Structure 1
Amino acid sequence: MTTLRTVVAASGGLDSTVLAYDLARNGHEVTLLSFDYGQRHRRELHAARRLAHRLGARHSVVDLNPLKTVLRGSALTDPDIAVPSGEYTTETLRTTVVPARNAIFLSVAIGAAVSWNAQTVAFAGHSGDHEVYPDCRPAFVRAVQDLARTATKGFGDVGVLAPYVTWSKSQIVSHGHRLGVPFEATWSCYQGLEWHCGTCSTCRERRGAFISAQVPDPTEYMETAGA
């Protein structure tokens, strides 16, 4: 039986880590591909490297750092825009959108898959992501699947997997718990502090997902770290 080689777009966060473990458990030979796109911190990249080591998987980081000069207007790439905290709204969440980020990352991953003789690219977009993030929706998945088929026809015919696109984040947590994913080794926070801040939108969603899934949250947040 031929092993399926899969390139996983891996941020070092909870969702993509569950996906990597999921695919590895199901017989895929996974390569984790991360992106340095001039984001606010490198904690997630360090997490992705450590997680790849735990999985015994190859890990590569693509240097897209120059993109920060054109991907302005996001709190994740623009130091002049503060990361929103507390109760979030559609307007505050818009400040965390990096324009077409998944489209850029997946285009690179598709090219890498051809070069590495991989058959598929996988990413962990899910329905728990807010409507303000258009590149996490089923319509985007269908479009990028068509892009991959068209762009690689006769050169690997690479497919795109997004198995969680209709899942909630709590479902991903539950699934990862069953897989034995080391959640404590993942990084979600938009801040690059020693611990998760606990107040930014992604920290709040991470917390809420564990609560909803009724899975113990091993994350060290600022107010509980060292307690």
Structure 2
Amino acid sequence: MSEKVVVIYSGGMDSFTVLHKAVQAGHEVYALSFNYGQRHVKELKVAESVCASLGINHKVVDISAINQLLAGSSLTDDIDVPEGHYEEESMKSTVVPNRNMILLSLAVGYAVSIQANKVFYGAHSGDHAIYPDCRPEFVRKMDDVCRIANYEEIAIVSPYLNESKIEILRDGLAMGLDYGQTWTCYNGREKACGKCGACQERLEAFSLNNAHDPLSYE
């Protein structure tokens, strides 16, 4: 009997790869996406399309009301999205306060309710410099607390925690994944901007894998 798991699925490259990794491992996957008041929902539409094509149970949950508590991020406030590489100091403006702890907590509650025993999410080493809630120490402690927070023990799994987006893409390409089915750009326009930190990191990953990015750029 296949193991039932929850995958936090944003519609971006990393969670897209994690989703397929869980599917290919033979898990019974329940995908969970969140509208937390981000600048656009284009990636959520992409996530819906992918899950429909794979026949995966998928919930998109509107938690945008929490936005009134989470001020100060360029991803949720009326603040310009910075351009440039992730390691630049300006990219700290894209941090959404406590985002992953909130999303993981909700996903764990969902896992308990459907009798799943793991929650997957796509933290990776490229996020460590900017996002505290993607660092190994955070993931370890969340795993510890989520194993004791309910009668049921739920594990937090980050398959690419110590790998870069370059390595994630390499793994996904080896799986034959179509990254035209993902959305990375912080801006929700018709084409990706190619200038924000998310686009820059994505383009770098494709370049270093000697691969063509199927998305169209402005």
Same fold per TM (> 0.5)? yes
Sequence identity, in percent?
A: 44
For residues 50 and 178 of structure 2, the distance between their equivalents in structure 1, rounded to whole angstroms, comes to: 8
Q: Structure 1 residues 53 and 93, CA, compared in 2 at 3 Å: closer, same or farther?
A: same
Q: Secondary structure at the match of 1:6?
A: strand
Tell me, yes or no, if the aligned pair for 1:21 and 1:55 is still in contact at 8 Å: no
Root-mean-square deviation over aligned CA pairs: 1.2
Alpha-carbon deviations, 1:179-206, whole Å to 9, x = none?
Answer: 1222001001000100111100100000
Give the 5 Å matches for 1:66-85. 66-79=65-78, 81-85=79-83
Tell me, yes or no, if the aligned pair for 2:74 and 2:94 is still in contact at 8 Å: yes
Provide the residue aligned with 1:129 in structure 2.
Answer: 127
Q: Secondary structure at the match of 1:203?
A: helix
Amino acid at match of 1:187: W
Instruction: Using structure 1 for the length normalisation, give the TM-score.
Output: 0.93
For residues 90 and 99 of structure 1, the distance between their equivalents in structure 2, rounded to whole angstroms, comes to: 19
Provide the residue aligned with 1:208 in structure 2.
Answer: 204
For residues 25 and 87 of structure 1, the distance between their equivalents in structure 2, rounded to whole angstroms, comes to: 32
Provide the residue aligned with 1:191 in structure 2.
Answer: 187
Residue 91 of structure 1: how far off its partner (Å): 2.5
Q: Secondary structure at the match of 1:150?
A: coil
Q: Which segments of structure 1 move beyond 6 Å, counting only runs of 4 or more?
A: none
Provide the residue aligned with 1:225 in structure 2.
Answer: none
Aligned length: 218
Alpha-carbon deviations, 1:28-70, whole Å to 9, x = none?
Answer: 1111100111110010110110111122101101111111111
Q: Structure 1 residues 22 and 90, CA, compared in 2 at 3 Å: closer, same or farther?
A: same
Residue 15 of structure 1: how far off its partner (Å): 0.3
Alpha-carbon deviations, 1:155-193, whole Å to 9, x = none?
Answer: x31111111000010100011111122200100100010
For residues 82 and 209 of structure 2, the distance between their equivalents in structure 1, rounded to whole angstroms, comes to: 25
1:102 aligned to 84, 97, 100, which one? 100
Tell me, yes or no, if the aligned pair for 1:174 and 1:215 is still in contact at 8 Å: no
Q: Residue 138 in 1 paired to residue 136 in 2?
A: yes
Tell me, yes or no, if the aligned pair for 1:173 and 1:215 is still in contact at 8 Å: no
